[in-house]
Amino acid sequence: MPGTCVIGLQWGDEAKGKIVDLLTEQHDVVVRYAGGANAGHTVVTGGQTYKLSLIPSGILNPGVKSVITGGVVLNPPSILGEIDGLVQRGVQCSDNLMISDRAHVIFPWHLEEDRLNEARTSKNGEAIGTTQRGIGPCYRDKVGRTNAIRLGDLYRANLADRIRKVAADKNALFPLLAGDVPFTALDAEKIVAEYQGYAARLKPFVADTTEYLLNALENNKRLLFEGAQGALLDVDHGTFPYVTSSNSSGVGISSGSGVPGRYLNKVIGIVKAYGTRVGGGPFPTEQDNDLGQHLRDRGNEYGTVTRRPRRCGWFDAVAARYTARLSGVDLLSVMLLDVLSELPEIKICTAYEINGKRVTNFPSQVDDLREAKPVYETVPGWQTEITGLTRWQDLPKNAIAYLRRIGEVVGRPVQIASVGPDRAQTIFHSDCEFAPRSIRTTILA
Ligand code: IMP
């Protein structure tokens, strides 16, 4: 039975949530396997906009189970805020949301560490530009083990003592970390009371999700894995150190969820029709100019979580080819194609020149990537609105040619194109096995 994976192939914000939402009706379980409240998904359906961060987009479909696995780092007030927001809008979570007892919990000390680290490193231009959601510090404690607290630990009798001990360690650490950046010492008793309250509210959702997913597979349930961030932010395979602290590429699915790789049999790679990046780190095709501003305005390229303006540039096929191979991608979905509609010509980066040498492989070292000069191929634009189109064959000839060319240079076929935020503004190629039944009839018509 299928385990379908939706993976962002760039630096995040590829609009994966929209594709997950569309594919949900063909699956029984939607699984979030990495990252935390650093991610933001926007799903527009029936004229309603939902902004989700930790909860999988599958929650909008009542017949589907949404599972947050142990690879995720969980900020209790964030997820409770999301649950409350959904319930207020009539979306039920009580029966269809499950959170792993193995998930590591974000505490106020993680947020403070993230903030202090960024404040200190930004003084010498070395900041990663994190979302300051405590992601890196929480994963660091997970790997370090001694000061880590998992969701299941919130229900143990020694919770208060553990919080007091970690808070004392962190209070001793902060002055060293802060340098001359002001910080607030932790009040352990306040944290104990807060987290006991969160634990009580989260209890109905907490479960052994690994066991649940393995059983689901044995019962032929169809699983949909929802990636967070993009593969270029993968801690092992991305543009280190300008990455997030989890395996955000396809390689993280098994470790994050406990589902063996042999069940992951279809991978959809999500790319924007151009490139964006938030935070620091090299971005070879960046356009820090009027074109970049045009893409930002037209694509509303401002972070869902932090509202930071995103850096914008041309489509980088060297990077996407690398991440498509890394994540075992079968087909591509090109998002925000309509953002390019006004441009007379469009560039695709097909190679880099690094220190006078032309390369088509993605460099493993960030210093080499910093030196990379993009080699562009220029294709004509279509200069007509496409937001109202629903059939592949109705797309302008130059738009089809652009999608085909992206598929050629990345090495995977483009079978889905998104021309606007709504579910309905999604065009499936007739070869695409994922076209929803309603849309498939349109294709065949
Ligand atoms: P962190 O995940 O908050 O530690 O941030 C590390 C890097 O990943 C920063 O450059 C962030 O801007 C970036 N990042 C983290 N989450 C996202 C996301 O969902 N979209 C885009 N960039 C992200």
Catalytic-residue membership of 429: no
345 CB neighbour count, 10 Å cutoff: 11
Catalytic-labelled residue, pool 27, 41, 104, 429: 41
Burial tier of 173 (Cβ tally within 10 Å: 0-12, 13-18, 19+): middle
Q: What integer pLDDT is reported at residue 435 of this predicted model?
A: 87
28 CB neighbour count, 10 Å cutoff: 17
Residue 140 Cα, ligand 1 centroid: separation in angstroms? 16
Residue type, position 79, single letter = I
Catalytic-residue membership of 13: yes
Q: Determine which residue's CA is closest to atom 10 belonging to ligand 1.
A: 279
| 252 vs 62: CA distance, rounded Å | 27
Q: What integer pLDDT is reported at residue 50 of this predicted model?
A: 86
Atom of ligand 1 nearest to the CA of 228: 19
Residue 131 Cα, ligand 1 centroid: separation in angstroms? 6
Residue closest to 417 by CA, chosen among 340, 309, 351: 340
The ligand 1 site (C-beta within 6 Å) comprises 11-13, 38-40, 128-131, 133, 135-136, 229, 233, 242, 244-245, 278-279
What does the angle CA 95 – CA 201 – CA 50 come to, to the nearest 5 degrees? 60
Q: Determine which residue's CA is closest to atom 15 belonging to ligand 1.
A: 38
Catalytic-labelled residue, pool 13, 114, 141, 234: 13
Identify the residue whose tokens are 């929480």: 138
- The secondary structure of the chain in percent helix, strand, coil, rounded to multiples of 5, reads 40, 20, 40
Q: What integer pLDDT is reported at residue 444 of this predicted model?
A: 39
Q: Could you check whether the bond before residue 108 is cis, i.e. omega within 30 degrees of 0?
A: no
Residue 179 Cα, ligand 1 centroid: separation in angstroms? 24
| 225 vs 263: CA distance, rounded Å | 11
Q: Determine which residue's CA is closest to atom 11 belonging to ligand 1.
A: 130
CA neighbours closer than 13 Å in the CB half-sphere of residue 389? 21
To test ligand 1's pocket by mutation, which of 121, 140, 244 has the most ligand atoms within 8 angstroms of CB?
Answer: 244
Q: Determine which residue's CA is closest to atom 1 belonging to ligand 1.
A: 130
Sheet holding 65-68, edge to edge: 206-207, 97-100, 65-68, 29-32, 223-230, 3-8, 266-272, 331-335, 414-418, 426-428
Chain centroid, CA 293 distance in Å: 23
Residue type, position 6, single letter = V
Ramachandran quadrant class, 313 (left: phi over 0; alpha: psi -120 to 50; beta: rest): beta
Atom of ligand 1 nearest to the CA of 36: 2
To test ligand 1's pocket by mutation, which of 57, 126, 130 has the most ligand atoms within 8 angstroms of CB?
Answer: 130
Task: Give the pairing of strands 414-418 and 426-428.
Answer: antiparallel
To test ligand 1's pocket by mutation, which of 278, 286, 304, 305 has the most ligand atoms within 8 angstroms of CB?
Answer: 278
Q: What integer pLDDT is reported at residue 126 of this predicted model?
A: 85
Low-confidence ranges of the chain (pLDDT < 70): 1, 437-445
DSSP state at residue 420:
S
Residue 166 Cα, ligand 1 centroid: separation in angstroms? 26
Residue closest to 246 by CA, chosen among 230, 260, 265, 261: 230
Residue 229 Cα, ligand 1 centroid: separation in angstroms? 7
Rounded to the nearest 10°, the torsion over CA 316, 322, 326, 327 is 30
Ramachandran quadrant class, 134 (left: phi over 0; alpha: psi -120 to 50; beta: rest): left
DSSP state at residue 310:
P
Contacts of 352-361 with C-beta under 8 Å, sequence gap 24+, read 352/284, 352/318, 359/318, 360/318, 360/321, 361/318, 361/322
Atom of ligand 1 nearest to the CA of 114: 4
* Element of type H or E holding 412: none
Report pTM: 0.95
